[in-house]
Every structure is written in C-alpha cells, then in structure tokens.
Amino acid sequence: MGAPGAEFAARFGAPATHGARAPGRVNLIGEHVDYEGYAVLPMAVALETWVCVRRAPAGAEAGVLVVANADGAQYPEVELPADPGARVDRERHSWANYFQAGYKGVFEHLRREGRPAPEPYGLQVMVRGRVPAGSGLSSSSALVVASAAAVAAVHGLEFSRQEIAEFTRVCEQHVGTMSGGMDQAISVMGEQGLAKLIEFGPVRASDVILPPGCAFVIANSLTVSKKAETAAGRYNLRVLECRLAAVLLAIALGTPPEEAAASVQVLKDVEAALGAAGKRVGDLLHDAPYSLVEVEGLLGASIEAVAGADFLPSVRAAAEFGGFKLRQRAEHVYSEAQRVLRFRDLCNSSASSSAASGETLAALGKMMDESHASCSVQYECSSPELEELTGLARELGALGARLTGAGWGGCMVALVKEGDVGPYIQALKDRFFQKRVASGELDASDLDSVVFATGPCPGASWGRMTTAGALES
Ligand code: GLA
C-alpha cells in the first residue's frame, strides 16, 4: 500500500503537493552499540511510512500543522504549532510527536549550518505507517525521517542523505529517547539487495553483501516495546550506565575524575586506553551493581553534573532496580562491537561464491546467538516472549536467532537456509503464533504480517507528488 493520497484529498479537499516514504529496518547484529560510537549492521525492510503534505491555504489553518493519519481511529488527528521553536510535549506521548521532531529537525539543521531558513507556515499532513509500532523495526525513525524529508520537500529545501541521517538522529531525541543514529541512517541510506555497515561520527554507510543461500526471518513477539514511554528505566538508563562505565573506566586507568568526566562521552573513547594498559573491563569494574553513593564518590561530582539533568529520571529508576550494572553493560558493548565487524568480514568474504558454505552460515548464526545471549544476560533488554521465540527459532532449525532493535519486546530475526524458509515459517506459526490466535491475542488474518522473510530494501525517497498520489520520478 502506497501513499495516503486518497485520504489526504478526502480530509483536506485537495491533493498533496509533496511527500516522502521511509522504511523501517531490521538490525542483523550490533545492538545497543550505536550510541557508544560503534558500527551497526542493519538493512531496510519493505514496511514503510508515508507522509504527504501541502501548504495550508490562507485561513484558519494558515499558522498550524494539521497532522492526520490514514488510521485515524488509532492515531487521532493533532494540531501542532508551525513555530519550529515550539517544544515537543514529551509527556503527552502522542504519535504526532515524531512528526513534530522531524519538522523541528529541518529548521534546527538549517540554523546549525548557518543556512537561511524559510518563514514557517501552516501545513496539512497525512501519514500512513506500515511499520508496526513498538515492534523493534523502527516505526519511530521511519516516521521522523519521512516527516523531515516531506517538510524539506514542501519548503523546496535540498539535503543530502547523509545530512538527513545526521539531523534526524539529533531531532528524534526531542521525543525523549536518547537513541543512537542507526535507525534514521538505514532508513535514509538503505539500498535494494544490500545490508549496510553504518558507522558514526560522521554517519556513513558501506555495503555488506549478504551470503547467498540464506534468508532472514522476522517474527514479532507481540509484546509492544514502548521505547519513549519506558525510556527512563530502560533505554535511557542503559545510555546512562554506559556513560558512567566509560568515565569510571577512564578514572580507574588514571585519568583525574574531572578530566575524565569532561573528555569521555562514550565507551569507544576509553577503548584505546584500556587496550594500551592491557586491562579488561572486569579488571577495573566490579560485578555487583554500583550504588548512587559509590558512583558519585568515584566521580567526585553528582551524576547530574556529569551526565545532565535529562538523565535524572533514569537515576531514580536505577535506585529502584538496586543500582547501576556498569561492568555488565560495558562488557556487552565491547563484545558486540567486535561481533559486528566479524559478521561484516565474513559476509563480504563469502560474497563471491554462489552459495555460502555451511560453515560460513553456521559461523554467522553463532554470532547472532552470542549477540542475543549478551543482550539478554549482560544488557538485560530481552523479554520472556523474546526468549521463548528465539529458543523456538533455534529448536526449529534456525542457524541463529536474536532480538532486534531496542528489545524489551518487539521482534526477533533468525538466520535460515533459503530452501527451509517456507516450512520454517509454518513451524513458527504452529508453535508460537497459533496459540495466540486461539487466545484472541492475534487475529488469524494478521499471521503473515507477524512472521515473514525479508531481504534488504531501498531507503527513503521524497519529492513532489503527482495528482494521482505517487512521488514524481
Ligand atoms: C533503538 C535505537 C537505536 C539503537 C537500538 C538498539 O532502535 O533507536 O539507535 O540504539 O535501539 O540497538
């Protein structure tokens, strides 16, 4: 299903003039490492979000953004200020916050670059999302990227893909999650038939050729992972734990606390010093959770002073959970970052053969299993349903299976031999999904959208729309 052109015309009485589509993604390996400066390895998927837009005619809507959704029953229409300086109301958790974040991002980017910004005006907007929300396939970034690209198009602004990837990473944080840049980058830089190694600082993408003869099967655990709503005790807490681990590692390696707090932002910043000292994380950080008092004693300052007031809700959440698990989080990040590069090397070195050897596929699958175990045990971002699903995936013959995306629910991705895909998906339906159909949790007609195989798809596109409701080529 393409652009919501008919819905736009029905709601606003005229066709949209500009639009954008942006895909969701599945991350094949490299979880919770992007915000620590390390590369990830995702591919864009066929599920996408559309944003169609037109300048509001003079009159009541001239100064506002009227943001409607083709699925109005689930996502009610919202009016937002056209002022790009208006704050995103994080507490409201509206779906339209993601549109507003993308909208603000365009203007903020121009300001940062010192480029002239257009005078803001009212917009009529219609959104249609096909990336299931909270599934770990990055519905949020698909909406932010499509919104930013459509807003750029209607204002006649030209941005490169790299620029969009860079500024949508920053602006999505308006919604309240301190996320890294993987989802936005692959949504803009994805390519048909290719997975991508995405690196940061600055963001860039290089090709990863997936081994012939294998397929990736995505299955939804059906537990919705509400990243923004649960950020304080989950996602943002992990970002904070990594930051604290990085600073405490630098201090343990001899950097004075004040200097460490100022110069060390992410775990990547201390990797070289760790290596040079011949130390491992476990030599310098203890296993038991760190209390607030202990961390602040080592820092010689409050966590707020070091990490910023945005993390205060996460500090409170950590106290409830019994402290910060710094050693475990750092060990996950360093080991996962290495797996990503090994995975990429193995994929690219098997690209010239007509079918990857059983040994190669087994090695890739093993890395995916190790990644999942590290996410589950060290990073604690799995869920009982994801454990059941990945366990079943392996039992049914997958070469490897892991949670994908932020975790705490959402989807898993499994590596399967191409010839086995049909029976494999059927077996997953029989063993995991049928009982959920029987209990009423899942509608039988949705079975094919909760478990499916996919290859890499193209990234976002945007521009003028034809009156027939398609993007002009
Ligand atoms: C979310 C974030 C990404 C990344 C993943 C975990 O999808 O948006 O930046 O951190 O979680 O790998």
Nearest-CA residue for ligand 1 atom 2 is 179
Taking CA atoms only, the protein residue closest to ligand 1 atom 8 is 179
Work out whether strand 400-403 and strand 214-220 pair parallel, antiparallel, or are unpaired.
unpaired
Q: Is the CB of 169 under 6 A from ligand 1?
A: no
Which atom of ligand 1 is nearest to 30's Cα? 12
446 is catalytic: no
Q: How many helices (H) and strands (E) does the chain have?
A: 18, 12
Encode the chain (473 residues) as per-residue pLDDT tens digits: 699 999 999 999 999 999 999 999 999 999 999 999 999 999 999 999 999 999 999 876 778 999 999 999 999 999 999 999 999 998 888 999 999 999 999 999 999 999 999 999 999 999 999 998 888 899 999 999 999 999 999 999 999 999 999 999 999 999 988 999 999 999 999 999 999 999 999 999 999 999 988 999 999 999 987 777 889 999 999 999 999 999 999 999 999 999 999 999 999 999 999 999 999 999 999 999 999 999 999 999 999 999 999 999 999 999 999 999 999 999 999 999 999 999 999 999 987 776 678 899 999 999 999 999 999 999 999 999 999 999 999 999 999 999 999 999 999 999 999 999 999 999 999 999 999 999 999 999 999 999 999 999 999 999 999 988 899 97
Q: Which atom of ligand 1 is nearest to the CA of 27?
A: 12
Phi, psi values for residue 471, rounded to 5°: -75, 135
CA distance 218 to 292: 39
Neighbouring C-beta atoms of residue 320, cutoff 10 Å: 8
68 alpha-carbon distance from chain centroid: 24
3-class state of residue 14 by DSSP: coil
Q: Write out the two tokens for 65.
A: 């953004």
Place of tokens 């996410």: 375
| CB neighbours of residue 318 within 10 Å | 25
Q: What is the pLDDT of residue 261?
A: 97
Model pLDDT, residue 462: 98
Q: Which residues pair with 217 in a beta bridge?
A: 414, 453
Counting beta carbons within 10 angstroms of the beta carbon of residue 436, is it exposed (0 to 12), middle (13 to 18) or buried (19 or more)?
middle
pLDDT of residue 256: 98
Asked whether 134 lines ligand 1 (CB < 6 A), one says: no
Beta strands in 295-446 (DSSP E): 400-403, 411-417
User: Phi-psi category of 243—alpha, beta or left, where left has phi over 0 and alpha has psi -120 to 50?
Assistant: alpha
Query: Rounded to the nearest whole angstrom, what is the distance from the C-alpha of residue 31 to the centroid of ligand 1?
Result: 7
* Nearest atom, ligand 1, residue 40 CA: 12
**What is the pLDDT, as a whole number, of residue 296?**
98
The answer, yes or no, to whether any atom of ligand 1 lies below 6 A from the CB of 405, is yes
Question: 354, exposed or middle or buried, with CB in 10 Å at 0-12, 13-18, 19+?
Answer: exposed
CA of 406 to the centre of ligand 1 (A): 5
Residue 160 neighbours by CB distance under 10 Å: 9
How far apart, in whole angstroms, are the C-alpha atoms of residue 58 and residue 347? Answer: 55
| Extended strands (E) in 4-99 | 18-29, 41-55, 64-69, 78-81
**Coil, helix or strand for 308?**
coil
Distance 116 CA to ligand 1 centre (A): 32
What confidence score (pLDDT) does residue 207 get? Answer: 97
C-alpha 330/C-alpha 267 separation (Å) is: 7
**Cα–Cα distance, 342 to 367 (Å, whole number):** 9
183 lines ligand 1 (CB under 6 A): yes
Quick one: pLDDT at residue 136? 87
Task: Find the DSSP H helices in 350-433.
Answer: 358-373, 384-395, 421-428
Given the residues 71, 83, 89, 183, select the one marked as catalytic. Answer: 183
CB distance 166 to ligand 1 below 6 Å: no
Paired residues of 125 in beta bridges:
53, 67
Contact present, 186 and 196 (Cβ < 8 Å): yes
Do the Cβ atoms of 458 and 23 come closer than 8 Å?
A: yes
Q: Could you tell me the distance, in angstroms and rounded to a whole number, from the CA of residue 451 to the centre of ligand 1?
A: 21
Return the ligand 1 atom nearest residue 34 CA. 10
CA-CA distance, 319 to 308, in Å (whole number)? 17
- Establish whether residue 135 lines the binding site of ligand 1, counting it when its CB lies within 6 angstroms of any ligand atom: no
**Contact call for residues 213 and 357 (beta carbons, < 8 A):** no
Give the β-pairing of 18-29 and 41-55. Answer: antiparallel
Predicted pLDDT at 268:
98
**CA neighbor of 327 nearest in space, from 371, 377, 293, 278:** 377
Which residue among 138, 182, 266 has the greatest number of ligand 1 atoms within 8 angstroms of its CB, and so is best to mutate? 182
CB 180 less than 6 A from any atom of ligand 1: yes
Q: Is 254 exposed, middle or buried (0-12, 13-18, 19+ CB in 10 A)?
A: exposed
pLDDT for the residue 308: 93
Residue 473 exposure: Cα atoms within 13 Å on the Cβ side: 0
Give yes or no for residue 179 CB within 6 A of ligand 1: yes
C-beta of residue 132 within 8 angstroms of C-beta of residue 218: no
> What is residue 352's predicted lDDT score, i.e. its pLDDT?
74
406 CA: nearest ligand 1 atom = 11
Could you tell me which of 106, 127, 151 has the C-alpha nearest to residue 49? 127
Is there an atom of ligand 1 within 6 Å of 32 CB? Answer: yes
